[in-house]
Amino acid sequence: MRLLPGISSERRGFVLAWWGFGLTFGGMRLLTWLIHIDVAGVGDVQAGGVHIHHYVWGILLLAIVGVAGLVNRTARARAWMGLAYGVGMALIIDEAALLISLEDVYWDTDGWVSIALAIAVIALVGGVLAVTRGWQGSNQGHYHSSAQDRSKSQGRNRNAG
């Protein structure tokens, strides 16, 4: 995946998960608002007259990402899985208030729980991504194993004496 060329392949999936989460959460809030105000042509997904909440699609997406992670761990697959993971998590967290109360409180005051959780996730993950950029070394976005760190420090110690 050529998206984000300045970010290491190990980190790219996390960044895409964060982006996917934020954009999907915002997109779902917009879509559900359009449904709520009865915009023509926009409606709920139903099967046999039963409304299918979008957390169901999020659970299915996370299940697919889980299986894919067991099968394929290439850099390209990790990037796509990261994006899909973020989308799936947003679909679930957007309806967290419903899952907690077992009532459709999406537009009630209790529905703000979902918004608070989403903002917390966006802020926390964004903060972690920001403060860990280039952590442990000068290679931005690359992480060194402890074995690599030990060998580097041993090399410096030998050269110092």
Q: How confident is the model at residue 136, as a pLDDT?
A: 47
pTM: 0.80
One digit per residue, the tens of pLDDT, for the chain of length 161 reads 577 778 888 889 999 999 999 999 999 999 999 999 999 999 999 999 999 999 999 999 999 999 999 998 899 999 999 999 999 999 999 999 999 999 999 999 999 999 999 999 999 999 999 998 755 444 444 444 444 444 554 555 555 55
Residue 21 tokens read as 């989460």
Six-digit token string for 137? 């070394």
Q: What is the pLDDT of residue 122?
A: 98
Of the candidates 48, 47, 28, the residue with the CA atom closest to the CA atom of residue 106:
28
pLDDT for residue 102: 95
pLDDT at residue 29, as a whole number = 97
Cα dist from 108 to 24, 41, 70, 97, 146, whole Å: 21, 24, 40, 10, 49
Phi-psi region of 134 (alpha: psi -120 to 50; beta: other; left: phi over 0): left
Comparing CA positions, the residue from 31, 21, 2, 124 lying closest to residue 65 is: 21
Region at 102 (left for phi over 0; alpha for psi -120 to 50; beta for the rest)? left
pLDDT for 16 equals 95
